[in-house]
Amino acid sequence: MLRIDLIAGCGLSLALFATPALAQDLQSRPVAPPPAPSAGAPVDENQVKFSAGSLEYDTNTDVVTALGDVRMFRTGNRLRADQVVWNRKTGRVVATGNIAVSNPQGDIAYGDSIDLTDSLKDGMVENMLVVLEQGGRLAAREGLRDADGTVELRDAAYTPCSVTNPEGCPKDPSWKITAVRITYRPERKRVYYHGGQFHLFGLPALPLPTFSHPVGGGSESGLLSPDIRYTRVNGLEVATPYYFRLAPNRGLVVTPHLFSSVLPMVQAEYSMLTQHGAFRVTGYGTRSRRSDDLTSATPLSTEQAFRGYIDSVGRYQFSPTWSLSESVRLASDKTFLRRYDISRDDRLRSTVSLQHIDRDSYFAVTGWYIQTLRANDSQGFQPIALPEIDYRRRIGDVLGGVVQLQANSLALSRSAGQDTQRAFASARWDLRKLTRWGQEVTFTAYARGDAYNTQDTLATPVASYRGTEGFQTRAIGALAADVKWPFVGDFLGGSQRLTPRVQLVASPKIANLAVPNEDSRAVDLEDSNLFALNRFPGYDRFEDSSRATYGVEWALDFPGVSLDTVLGQSYRLSTRPTILPDGTGLSDRFSDFVGRTELRVRDFVSLTHRYRLDKDGFAIRRNEIDATIGSRRTYALIGYLRLNRNIFPAIEDLQDREEARVAGRIQFKRFWSVFGSAVVDLTDRNEDPLSQANGFDPVRHRLGVQYEDDCIRLGLTWRKDYQTNGDARKGSSFLLTLALTNLGR
């Protein structure tokens, strides 16, 4: 009964979607081509091999008639039919009934009848269907296949889309192209149209000019999918990319952006693949008015100037150990990227690095350039690092442990700020042992010598970051012992692991303030650095207090469910003053409590919670939640961050803030989904006295709807920005996307 219902349902679908004529029947045929001959069989180009249920031979006319599942083979061409009449004198082959013909490239042609030569390469087919090996299918009232494989189709149609639904019933493809004449050239893997029309979801057909497109993999020159966008500042935008295939390993995409309210913009992207690596460079250029006043609440466009952006990335692997990587990002001004909706980054970093990596050593020469896009930042205070030289070597089995050696030098220069040169050499020895009771004990010894040279220290406004003018040296040393004792056992049908941990670190007083602080400014106690030898990031500051750090990790594992939580604190053993400022959680002898909890439920729930609790009263100083709930098709992303550190504003770029981030997608039908995201600033003056936020200020949001199946992606997105930065003004923007398989992508 189930089979009868299924057949009836498919029959109904076929009746609904069938075309009036067989000229464009894109549905699959109830026959398959014969399998290829077994590998290693001898091949004779002048010989036709065939098999059939019965065979008749007319000796007078030299005509062979084969009946019943007839199969013919010749030099990679295969034929299958119910009946084949072969005139051996003329070489003409006429096949009828459930015909399937395939060529050496893997393309399959179906038809009701076919008239071809005995080479099986060329001929005329009625009610033809061609299923391309690269994907897609062609159908026509009649088709002619030449000996070189070229197929000429009359009253034809093409689609790369599926013609059956998940239940296997026939359906109309999402889109197709019908044409008076279609030519398929397999050697070029390209389809050519004359008198074509575009059909989308059964909507009225759109006429098309004479054009062509590739099928399958590879790339060819031609138009790519356009983008249509509307923004408040630029008006209606239409971008029409064109791809130039310069060589199999090189290509250029030129995209003119036409706007209704401003001058056009040109975008060009050049990419190249070589035997050693690849690179890509993208450039934008236009001319428009920009605002040089980014601090006013209502900035005016004051200058008409050239504006642009360059983005380049590349990597080369010269040998298994030597490589070169580069990334260059430069903008003409601070608001260009936001104005034209290219990027929302507030800093652009350019870097070049030459690296040598083998099993036991690492060597790199690296340079950086930072361009700030922040409204209140001066470019003259941004450092240029040229170069940084870093060398590291690992030496095994030294007194039973592993030694890591490092030598590093760095030169920082600023056009309007402090210049710093730094060099150091260090050695670290780690010995890891397992006791008979199951404890994991690690002993560490660390020594380092530094040399600094600084100029123009008064240009740095924060005194603790300056260091002493001129040449300074510094010695660093530390000893540490770290003990973990895991306990593992069964728990409620799963397993649990409880791991207490204690670490002791001893370090003498270090002349930290005598040297500048360039890379250790953003310090905060977190679960990731709780047991670190140095809780400062970077190299310019080293925690010089002797301390004991203790904590516990608890992990649960059930089938499909895991829970991992960590909690810890540290205690400073010495009473000498610390350089760690208030608000970091490390300024008092007892530190704040820090922890992390991770929960995973199969592939459906992933939740991470990080927090820091004040040791006096357990006030929440840091509260960060990141959660993903759902499947790949329907999901929600939730992010929340609150920093309540009460840190002194003059010594920390990142002030206290509160922020919520939400995003999600709901697939309400098989191919239809809605999606959205939002960022909301929850900061008020209780968290940041300098903030003008009212406790609920949306930063931006996005909302869209999308249809996506095997051969088309169609979507509409609405985005709104709530903040104005110069000529990048707040307001709504709309984006329409349309991408078709084998057409423009």
Among residues 472, 499, 464, which one has the least CA distance to residue 484? 499
Q: Would the pLDDT of 101 be above 90?
A: no
Among residues 365, 368, 370, 363, which one has the least CA distance to residue 347? 370
Mean pLDDT of 248-273: 96
**What is the predicted pLDDT for the residue at 656?**
81
Q: Is residue 723 part of a domain?
A: no
Q: Would the pLDDT of 634 be above 90?
A: yes
**What is the predicted pLDDT for the residue at 410?**
96
End-to-end CA distance of the chain: 45
**What is the predicted pLDDT for the residue at 7?**
32
Mean pLDDT of 252-262: 96
Task: Tell me how far the alpha carbon of residue 325 is from its chain's centroid.
Answer: 19
Higher pLDDT, 734 or 32: 734
Q: Is residue 63 part of a domain?
A: yes
Higher pLDDT, 84 or 117: 84
Instruction: Extract the runs of DSSP E, i.e. beta strands, from 240-360.
Output: 242-247, 250-259, 265-273, 277-290, 303-317, 322-331, 347-357
Q: Would the pLDDT of 309 be above 90?
A: yes
**What is the predicted pLDDT for the residue at 39?**
55
**What is the predicted pLDDT for the residue at 28?**
81
452-480 residue pLDDT tens: 999 999 999 888 899 999 999 999 999 99
The mean-pLDDT minimum among 8-17, 507-516, 545-554, 701-710 falls in 8-17
CA distance 51 to 70: 6
In the chain, the amino acid numbered 234 is N
Task: Tell me how far the alpha carbon of residue 527 is from its chain's centroid.
Answer: 28
Confidence bin at 100 (pLDDT 50/70/90): confident
Q: Is residue 282 part of a domain?
A: no
Q: Is residue 201 part of a domain?
A: yes
Neighbours of 556 (CB within 10 A): 17
Mean pLDDT of 414-436: 96
Write 643-648 long-range contacts (CB < 8 A, 24+): 643/687, 644/619, 644/620, 644/687, 645/524, 645/583, 645/584, 645/585, 645/621, 646/582, 646/583, 647/581, 647/582, 647/583, 647/584, 648/581, 648/582, 648/583
CA distance 227 to 216: 23
Q: Which residues contact 622 (CB under 8 A, 6 or more apart)?
A: 524, 526, 594, 610, 611, 612, 642, 643, 644, 645
Q: Which residues contact 637 (CB under 8 A, 6 or more apart)?
A: 627, 628, 661, 662, 663, 664, 677
In the chain, the amino acid numbered 221 is S
Size of the chain, expressed as the number of residues it contains: 745
Higher pLDDT, 148 or 707: 707
The phi, psi pair for 529, rounded to 5°, reads -115, 10
**What is the predicted pLDDT for the residue at 513?**
92
**What is the predicted pLDDT for the residue at 683?**
85
Confidence bin at 660 (pLDDT 50/70/90): very high
Range of the domain at 134: 49-220
Residue at token pair 């060329």: 122
In the chain, the amino acid numbered 565 is T
Strands 561-572 and 547-558: antiparallel
Q: Would the pLDDT of 567 be above 70?
A: yes
Q: Would the pLDDT of 132 be above 70?
A: yes
We report the CATH number of the domain holding residue 81 as: 2.60.450.10
Q: Would the pLDDT of 554 be above 90?
A: yes
Higher pLDDT, 620 or 684: 620
Among residues 47, 110, 33, which one has the least CA distance to residue 75? 47
Mean pLDDT of 696-715: 91
- Token representation of residue 82: 């119910």
In the chain, the amino acid numbered 286 is T
Mapped onto helix, strand or coil, the DSSP state of residue 106 is coil
Which of the residue ranges 9-23, 514-528, 680-694 has the most confident prediction, judged by mean pLDDT?
A: 514-528
Confidence bin at 653 (pLDDT 50/70/90): low
The phi, psi pair for 605, rounded to 5°, reads -130, 130
Mapped onto helix, strand or coil, the DSSP state of residue 737 is strand
Q: Is residue 261 part of a domain?
A: no
Q: Would the pLDDT of 180 be above 70?
A: yes
- Token representation of residue 457: 């220290």
Among residues 371, 232, 230, 229, which one has the least CA distance to residue 727? 232
Q: Would the pLDDT of 76 be above 90?
A: no
Confidence bin at 6 (pLDDT 50/70/90): very low
State the pTM of this model: 0.81
Confidence bin at 451 (pLDDT 50/70/90): very high
Higher pLDDT, 502 or 43: 502
- 10 Å CB burial of residue 555 (0-12, 13-18, 19+) is middle
Q: Is residue 181 part of a domain?
A: yes
Q: Is residue 191 part of a domain?
A: yes
**What is the predicted pLDDT for the residue at 667?**
94
**What is the predicted pLDDT for the residue at 481?**
97
3-state SS record for 542-562: CCCCCEEEEEEEEEEEECCEE
3-state SS record for 72-99: EEECCEEEEEEEEEEECCCCEEEEEEEE
**What is the predicted pLDDT for the residue at 102?**
84
**What is the predicted pLDDT for the residue at 59?**
85
Mean pLDDT of 340-353: 94
Contact 315, 277 (CB under 8 A): yes
Residue at token pair 């970077």: 538
Among residues 379, 394, 399, 298, which one has the least CA distance to residue 334? 379
Could you tell me what percent of the chain has a pLDDT over 90?
A: 56
Q: Would the pLDDT of 23 be above 80?
A: no
34-62 residue pLDDT tens: 776 665 555 566 677 778 888 888 888 88
**What is the predicted pLDDT for the residue at 37?**
63
Confidence bin at 17 (pLDDT 50/70/90): very low
Average pLDDT of the chain is: 87
Among residues 386, 413, 432, 602, which one has the least CA distance to residue 518? 413
Q: Is residue 137 part of a domain?
A: yes
Summary count for the chain: helices (H), strands (E): 2, 42
Confidence bin at 204 (pLDDT 50/70/90): confident
DSSP bridge partners of 224: none
In the chain, the amino acid numbered 202 is G
CA distance 155 to 180: 5
Instruction: Give the number of domains in the chain.
Output: 1
**DSSP single-letter state for residue 743:** B
Mapped onto helix, strand or coil, the DSSP state of residue 4 is helix
Strands 487-491 and 494-506: antiparallel
Mapped onto helix, strand or coil, the DSSP state of residue 103 is coil
